[in-house]
Amino acid sequence: MMIILSKASLENVYAAFVLANGARMEGIEAEMFFTFFGLEALHNKKLEHLHVATVGNPAMHLPTMIGGLPGMEALATTMMKKEMEKLDMPGVREFLDILKASGVRLWACKLAMEMFHYTKEDMYEDLDGVLTVGDFYKQGSGIGTHMLFI
Amino acid sequence: MEKMIAQKNILVNEEGYLTNFAQWDKEVGEEIAKENNISLTPKHWEVINYIQDEFKKDSPLSIRKIGKSGVVDIKEFYALFPVGPLKTATKIAGVPKPASCI
């Protein structure tokens, strides 16, 4: 299972992490490719500060104008994190540690790294490498590989 | 349904998990391990004992919890039970498959 994460709102990051970890729990190989805003989930200074999106998300049942008020994202994020803690969900850094320990390989997208002026040193220390899109396709060329874009 | 495991008739579900923990003993565990291509070492048994203790306490299992158990870390857990560790280890331990997503 190859999971591409292109967003860093907390709900998307957790969806990708749960899917990657769930694959390993079932004995399925899993790798993750972080691109565009998804890179924030690997960025050492940002990964602990990801937010839930409160604007442009009708399922929040919050009027867009209210969702856009200062502090709303932080409030929604705190509430979501509390709920997740109740379910024994790890934080983003601990989740990355769990993924690595479970054998998930983590790759960052070269083009997006350059676009955001990130270096490998800015990123989570157990990152497996920085890949071009071509390298990533090669990585996923095995028979039976599934790709998932989040 | 019933399945012959270690010369005993054992009640299992369609996935092969014991439905009555009282029927479990070490030979049963060893035979299930063999079916899953695992030969049990003392370290495996430590993990199995931990899983059974948690089951008796009615406390739900997850990969994160195993990692914090102090018995094994997650990397070791995957090394001991390489294919689906939580699923395999609970099957060998004779306890139900954990309904955990993490």
Residue B81: which domain range?
A: 2-93
* Element housing B33 (H / E): helix B26-35
Residues of B in contact with A87 (CB under 8 A): 102
Q: Which two tokens stand for residue B39?
A: 């030969």
| pLDDT in the model for residue B100 | 80
Write the residue in A25, A87, A101 that is nearest to B86 by C-beta.
Answer: A25
| pLDDT in the model for residue A115 | 94
Contact (CB<8Å) A27/B83:
yes
In a domain, B100, yes or no: no
pLDDT in single tens digits along all 150 residues of chain A: 999 999 999 989 999 999 999 999 999 999 999 999 999 999 999 998 888 888 887 887 878 888 888 888 888 888 888 888 888 889 999 999 999 999 999 999 999 999 999 999 999 999 999 999 999 888 888 888 999 999
In a domain, B99, yes or no: no
In a domain, B12, yes or no: yes
Predicted complex ipTM:
0.85
Cβ neighbour number for residue A105 with a 10 Å cutoff: 18
In a domain, B101, yes or no: no
Contact (CB<8Å) A27/B84:
yes
In a domain, B46, yes or no: yes
The answer to whether A115 faces chain B, any CB pair under 8 Å, is no
Cα separations (Å) of A97 from A19, A24, A76, B75?
A: 15, 14, 25, 10
In a domain, B76, yes or no: yes
Measure the CA–CA gap between A48 and A60, rounded to whole angstroms: 22
Identify the CATH homologous superfamily for domain A2-149.
DsrEFH-like (3.40.1260.10)
Task: Point out which residues pair with B12 in neighbouring strands.
Answer: B18
Q: Catalytic site residue B101?
A: yes
Residue B5 has pLDDT above 90, yes or no: no
Residues of B in contact with A83 (CB under 8 A): none
Mean pLDDT of chain B: 92
Contact (CB<8Å) A25/B63:
yes
What pLDDT, in 10s, does the model give residues B60-84?
Answer: 899 999 999 999 999 999 999 999 9
B68 burial class (0-12, 13-18, 19+ CB within 10 angstroms)? middle
Write the residue in A27, A87, A102 that is nearest to B63 by C-beta.
Answer: A102
Query: What's the total number of domains in chain B?
Result: 1
Residue ranges per domain, chain A?
2-149
What pLDDT, in 10s, does the model give residues B24-56?
Answer: 999 999 999 999 999 999 999 999 999 999 999
| pLDDT in the model for residue A65 | 81
In a domain, B98, yes or no: no
In a domain, B50, yes or no: yes
| pLDDT in the model for residue B2 | 86
